[in-house]
Amino acid sequence: MKSLRNLLGLLACVAAGGAFLMLLPGQTPEPKPAPEAAADAASNMRGDWPMWGGDPKRNNTPEATNVPIAWEVGEFDRKTGEWLKKDSSNVKWAARLGSQSYGNAVVCNGRVFVGTNNGAGWLKRYPAEVDLGCLLAFDEKTGELLWQHSSEKLKQGRVVDWPLQGICCACYAEGDRLWFTTSRGEIRCLDAAGFHDGENDGPYKDEANENKDEADVVWVLDMMSELGSFQHNMAACSIAVDGDILYGTTSNGVDNSHINIPSIDAPTFLAIDKNTGKVLWTDKSPGANILHGQWSSPAIAELGGVKQVIFAGGDGWVYAFKAGPEKELLWKFDANPKTAKWILGGRGTRNNIIATPVVYDGKIYVAVGQDPEHGEGMGHLWCIDPTKRGDVSP
């Protein structure tokens, strides 16, 4: 696995009011995917980690051997923030991120992509004090910044775009393209090479400039303006892709009253042509039953002979659709007891699904919880049989 031969892992270390992305060198491991994961691992045989969870089943378990498990990240100059490499061990390079980084690192074709905020101030036109959602691309071998995609804050304020959160998803990368959910409630397709290839890929041509340290946008789907969604605090879905179809969520949620749903008829789940950005189908099942926000990410797997896309809704239900260009609901599952009730502040027994569904050994696993700022809440961990149909709730 090419990337894993040079990579033990990626981590962010708090330093000088910011964070660093660190690449840890490893030995030369060989992939040994489990039989059931062979198809998913096919695209990762070079050692790439092209999406949240590594593959569409979202199991976050890389298959590798001889991976080192000991390292020392070293020290940082507290005045300048400079990484002192001489004090480190088993670390190949470090690169500065923003002050908060929720977007998990993705590795594909010699590049590392990570979502963060603008605390690093990489671009001259956007000093570090300008709040942005940033997707950064680094050279996998050297840690050199290749380009930055910048999402300016929404004018509606923190109810839809909370300060300093940055890009809160992991992108999906494949070949010379990547796709991700911006902090502005958009799904964007970018040229993974940026403007380093000397071309402005389209149809989108409205970039502020074509500097090599900025992103080359291919197409944009603005879910707020085009689909009518109203994200609560942040759009955070790490999209999944099967063939030419991209699956994601709008993060549609409540307003700052935490009671009213401004866009009750807006979709939650959607399927998009990844090449053009055309919406193939949408679904608004959570609708009036959205509890708070919708920040989960979909998983994809063939289960019981049927390729399924598994979404976790903001109503506390899990929904599975048949993968493809036509919408077909296969089953749904209430991840809360039937007697559970939603009460603000964690005082109730009904809860959200923020976690990503995980597929393992033919079963779906999903955890229930909520935003800890609203209390601890009641938690559950469910195992679901995805071969059944209809309402499969207990």
Whether 147 contacts 215, CB under 8 Å: yes
Judged against a pLDDT cut of 60, whether residue 77 lies above it is answered with yes
pLDDT of 20: 66
Strand 132-139 relative to strand 145-152: parallel, antiparallel, unpaired? antiparallel
pLDDT of 152: 96
Judged against a pLDDT cut of 70, whether residue 264 lies above it is answered with yes
CA distance 100 to 237: 17
Judged against a pLDDT cut of 80, whether residue 194 lies above it is answered with yes
Give rounded-to-5 percent helix, strand, coil for the chain.
10, 35, 55
pLDDT of 247: 99
pLDDT of 148: 98
Mean pLDDT for the stretch of residues 271-283: 98
Q: How many CB atoms lie within 10 A of CB 345?
A: 12
Mean pLDDT for the stretch of residues 233-252: 96
pTM: 0.88
Q: How many CB atoms lie within 10 A of CB 42?
A: 11
pLDDT of 33: 45
Length of the chain: 394
pLDDT of 82: 87
Judged against a pLDDT cut of 60, whether residue 113 lies above it is answered with yes
What H or E segment, with its residue span, contains residue 224?
A: helix 223-227
**Could you report the per-residue pLDDT of 3-53, keeping only the tens digit for each?**
333 333 333 333 334 566 766 655 434 444 444 444 444 444 457 999 999
**Could you report the per-residue pLDDT of 127-138, keeping only the tens digit for each?**
999 999 999 999
pLDDT of 170: 97
Judged against a pLDDT cut of 90, whether residue 65 lies above it is answered with no
pLDDT of 135: 98
pLDDT of 27: 44
pLDDT of 24: 61
Judged against a pLDDT cut of 80, whether residue 277 lies above it is answered with yes
Q: How confident is the model at residue 117 (pLDDT cuts 50, 70, 90)?
A: very high
Amino acid at 281: W
Domains (range + CATH), the chain: 2-227 (2.40.128.630)
pLDDT of 22: 67
Average model confidence (pLDDT) for the chain? 88
Mean pLDDT for the stretch of residues 259-263: 94
State percent of the chain over pLDDT 90.
72
pLDDT of 283: 98
Poorest-pLDDT segment among 30-44, 275-289, 376-390: 30-44
Mean pLDDT for the stretch of residues 145-153: 97
pLDDT of 87: 85
Judged against a pLDDT cut of 50, whether residue 174 lies above it is answered with yes
pLDDT of 63: 79
pLDDT of 333: 98
- Residue 210 corresponds to which tokens in the numbers above? 């074509």
CA distance 15 to 225: 38
Judged against a pLDDT cut of 70, whether residue 200 lies above it is answered with yes
Judged against a pLDDT cut of 60, whether residue 344 lies above it is answered with yes
Nearest to 250 by CA among 277, 268, 273: 268
Judged against a pLDDT cut of 90, whether residue 69 lies above it is answered with no
Judged against a pLDDT cut of 90, whether residue 301 lies above it is answered with yes
